[in-house]
Amino acid sequence: MAIHVHKSEARGKANHGWLDTRHSFSFARWYNPDHMGIGPLRVLNQDVITGGSGFPTHGHRDMDIVSIVLRGALEHKDSEGNVAVIRPGEVQRMSAGTGVTHSEMNHFKDQTTEFLQIWVIPDERGMAPSYEQKALNPEVTEGEPLPVLASPRGANGGIGLHQDAHMLGGKAAAGVSTRYTLEEGRLGYFHMPKGACWVNGTLLNEGDGMYMAGPETLEFTVESDGYLLLFDLTGQ
């Protein structure tokens, strides 16, 4: 299947003063029927929060919400009693299930925090809310498999998702190469939140994405230091 590039400038964007955000898929007031998500991956936002600001308490239901901090630190509080600070190298998952309220604030008063906000639709509705956070410190290594950030119920490493979905990637230095096979019947989405990388001969720069479907062998060569993020998703 042909691979389809999603350029950074085609993403939705909003600047609320305290929040500068980019939406890979339709979100809030930005709607694009060509970018509604892929498989169970519904939201992929790259958010920059000014010091002392953040998302005040609000509610969710029936959604796995994953946060990956790229710089700074994010302070989490929720109605289940979870209080934590998420830092670079850590991956956090909050499953809203039957309903949860939470806030996500910049932990610092005098510096910005940048993070990825990811929503995955679970394969079951009405589950009890749950929370998980791990310090994975993922780093892409020459010729080695991509680090696992999340997998179904955590069976293959990383945090556990309530869905047949895998998240892979991590920090990557210029010149590093690796590959990944997306199997037949699987859907994939690649996002380049920082840096630049060649994927099957196409250069993806910061903020660019790529839709794909298996079977597909993906060849990655990092052009400039950054962070790689790949989703391997059920096609059902």
Question: What's the CA gap between 154 and 89, in Å, rounded?
Answer: 17
DSSP state of 25: S
Distance separating alpha carbons of residues 61 and 203, to the nearest angstrom:
37
Question: Encoding tokens for residue 183?
Answer: 């199997």
What's the pLDDT score for residue 57?
A: 96
In tens digits, the chain (236 residues) has pLDDT values of 479 999 999 999 999 999 999 999 999 999 999 999 999 999 999 999 999 999 999 999 999 999 999 999 999 999 999 999 999 999 999 999 999 999 999 999 999 999 999 999 999 999 999 999 999 999 999 999 999 999 999 999 999 999 999 999 999 999 999 999 999 999 999 999 999 999 999 999 999 999 999 999 999 999 999 999 999 999 97
10-135 against 148-234: fold identical? yes
Q: How far is CA 191 from CA 14, 55, 128, 176, 205, in A?
A: 19, 23, 30, 17, 9
Q: Are 101 and 78 in contact (CB under 8 A)?
A: yes
Cα atoms found within 13 Å of the Cα of residue 6, Cβ hemisphere only: 24
Partner residues linked to 202 by β-bridges = 199
Q: How far from each other are the two terminal CA atoms of the chain, in whole angstroms? A: 17
Rounded distance between C-alpha atoms, residue 164 and residue 148, angstroms = 14
Convert 69-98 to b/e letters by CB count within 10 Å (16 or more is b). bbebbbbbebebebeeebebebbbbbbbbe
Map residue 218 onto helix, strand or coil. Answer: strand
At residue 236, the pLDDT reads 74
10-135 CATH, one of 1.10.10.10, 2.40.110.10, 2.60.120.10, 3.10.330.20: 2.60.120.10
Q: Does the global pTM surpass 0.85?
A: yes
- Which superfamily, per CATH, for 148-234? Jelly Rolls (2.60.120.10)
Domain boundaries, the chain: 10-135, 148-234
What is the C-alpha separation between 133 and 111, in angstroms, rounded? 23
Task: Answer whether 123's CB lies under 8 Å from 164's CB.
Answer: yes
